[in-house]
Structure 1
Amino acid sequence: MSPIEEKQRRFKGVNAIYRMAEYMRLPQHVMNTAAIYLHRFYMRKPLEYGPAKIGHSHYEIAATCVFLACKVEESHRKLLSVIDAAMASFDKTPAGSQRWAERTFRADPSSKEFARWRDIILLSEETVLETLCFDLIVEHPHEILVKACSRLNVDADLVRVAWTILNDSLRDATCVMFEAPVLAAGAFYRACQQQQVDPSHFKGRWPKDAEECQWTWVDIFDVDEAEAAEAAAAIEKDVYQFHEQQAP
């Protein structure tokens, strides 16, 4: 499988997670956790490929990651609800799209398709857990971004731009290539570039002592500026430029 195709399938897998999460009205941190699980899983396991379908389907792993993230993030949903969301989200017929929009789809527990999704999710859950080495706690860059921007007294519009950049970064493996504080700082750095704002203008407020009065934005994020610039460049190249090139 080519790197381009792998990127495309990861993108589709995360889109499936977002579509299921919207159907189930899950909090954003739950869908973010599921997306990170999916990317971490495919760092160790192959995507499905070839006529023999060797590997793991990105749609099946997406549904499994949603089920697992609901448990870990204590946004509990029954397996039946996850199956409803998966079957509704993957039904692209006009009638299916309408049921998804109205959230009226209910799977028939006696159907073969229901049994197939039930078995897929339950069996894949164990595979995902083992692949992630049962390391399920996710440090969310969104939380770091909001706290840092609050201390830097960043205006709401700039925070929203950085937040959107973080959301977009989750569609690519870029989000697991950097630690959460670096990814958050990279999104802030790129947002400043996009809005033509010099990030060095922001200083920390509510200092605890005289030394903290001189803290810059990189001090608040607790990263090196070079790290933040590298993360921003990766987001630009691997997320935005890549998908612009793939657009028809």
Structure 2
Amino acid sequence: MMFATPLYRNSLRGTDPFLVLTTCVYLACKIEEWPHHIKLVVQEVKHILQDFGGFQYDSSKVAEFEFYLLEELEFYLIVWHPYRTLSHLANELGMRESGLQYAWFIVNDSYRCDVCLLHPPHMIALAAIYLTVVLNHADFAPGGPGDKRDMRAWFADLNVEVEEVVEIAQEILGVYEVWSDWREERCVTVWKELKSKPEVMG
């Protein structure tokens, strides 16, 4: 989320995603009380990004960009995740481990699109359960609440907008459609093409 927020609010061509990414890793290590020296972080990034044209920034630039990143995040560094709500609801419905694991994977995949920036975590958890049920992977315990109830009625009884749950589910399904056509080897080419085009000022 730390990486997605500045890119969501600013033009991709106006911001170097590799600088944003490096700064996010450095800042996340500090937040999680697992600090790494800034020079070590920059050194690792330079090694990893050799195939992408390298990383031309030094540690002073990353340290400077850290302040811009904090400002972009409005100094709000607490992140709420859907996992706690997902576990609670799955337990309440009597969903067995395999069903919970399937929904958990869907939540993981949701971080590859912008739903985490647009919707509250409990709605993403509900969308993961919705997709798990619709795709017949819920695996409710026999005789459990989820097994006995009509899940359509369960969703209708919730004090949430079901349309929003469906919208989030559609966004996540859109990620899988993109993945079906994704080719890793095209990434470098697309990145270089994007960086070479002049930014259009609107």
Give TM-score scaled by structure 1 length: 0.60
The alpha-carbon deviation at position 183 of structure 1 amounts to 1.0
Per-residue CA shift, 1:89-145, capped at 9, x if unaligned?
Answer: 32349xxxxxxxxxxxxxxxxxxx999331232121111111111111110112322
| Matched residue SS, 1:37 | coil
Q: Quote the Cα distance in structure 2 between the aligned partners of 1:202 and 1:229.
A: 25
| 1:243 counterpart = 2:185 | no
Query: How big is each residue's C-alpha offset from its partner over 1:142-174, in whole Å with a ceiling of 9 and x where there is no partner?
Result: 232223323332111111111111111211223
**Corresponding position of 1:42:** 7
Q: Which 5+ residue runs of structure 1 have no aligned equivalent?
A: 1-35, 49-54, 94-112, 205-214
Q: Which amino acid aligns with 2:31?
A: V
> Structure 1 72/223 Cα, relative in aligned 2: closer, same or farther at 3 Å?
farther
Tell me which residue corresponds to 1:71.
Answer: 30
Q: What secondary structure sits across from 2:95 in the alignment?
A: coil
Q: Aligned partners of 1:176, 1:218: CA distance in 2, in Å?
A: 25
Separation of aligned partners in 2, 1:198 and 1:157: 7
Paired AA for residue 240 in structure 1:
Y
Query: What corresponds to 1:143 in structure 2?
Result: 84
Q: Is the 8 A contact 1:83 1:117 kept in 2?
A: yes
Letter in 1 for 2:3: L
Indicate whether 1:232 and 2:174 are aligned: no
Tell me, in whole angstroms, the C-alpha distance in 2 between the residues paired with 1:149 and 1:197. Answer: 9
User: How far apart, in 2, do the equivalents of 1:45 and 1:162 lie?
Assistant: 31
Q: Which residue is equivalent to 1:158?
A: 99
Matches within 5 A, 1:215-226: 216=154, 223-226=160-163
4+ residue segments displaced more than 6 Å: 217-220
SS at 1:90 equivalent? helix
Q: Is the 8 A contact 1:183 1:231 kept in 2?
A: yes
How many residues are aligned here? 175
- Counterpart-to-counterpart distance in 1, 2:115 and 2:128: 12
Give the whole-Å Cα distance in 2 for the aligned partners of 1:235 and 1:163.
13
**Residues 160, 64 of structure 1: CA spacing in aligned structure 2 closer, same or farther, 3 A cutoff?**
same
Change beyond 3 A, Cα 1:219–1:151? farther
1:197-239: per-residue Cα shift (whole Å, max 9, x none)?
A: 599x9638xxxxxxxxxx946878x6443322221111112x1
Q: Which runs of 5+ in 2 are unaligned?
A: 147-152, 187-202
Paired residue for 2:189? none
Matches of 1:73 and 1:127, distance apart in 2: 20
Q: 1:1-248 counterparts in 2 under 5 A?
A: 36-48=1-13, 55-92=14-51, 116-195=57-136, 197=138, 203=145, 216=154, 223-237=160-174, 239-247=175-183
Contact 1:185 1:218 in 2 (8 A): no
Quote the sequence identity (%): 27
Query: What secondary structure sits across from 1:172 in the alignment?
Result: coil
> 1:246 offset after TM fit, Å?
4.2
Calculate the TM-score normalised by the size of structure 2: 0.72
Aligned Cα RMSD in Å?
3.2
Q: Which amino acid aligns with 2:96?
A: D
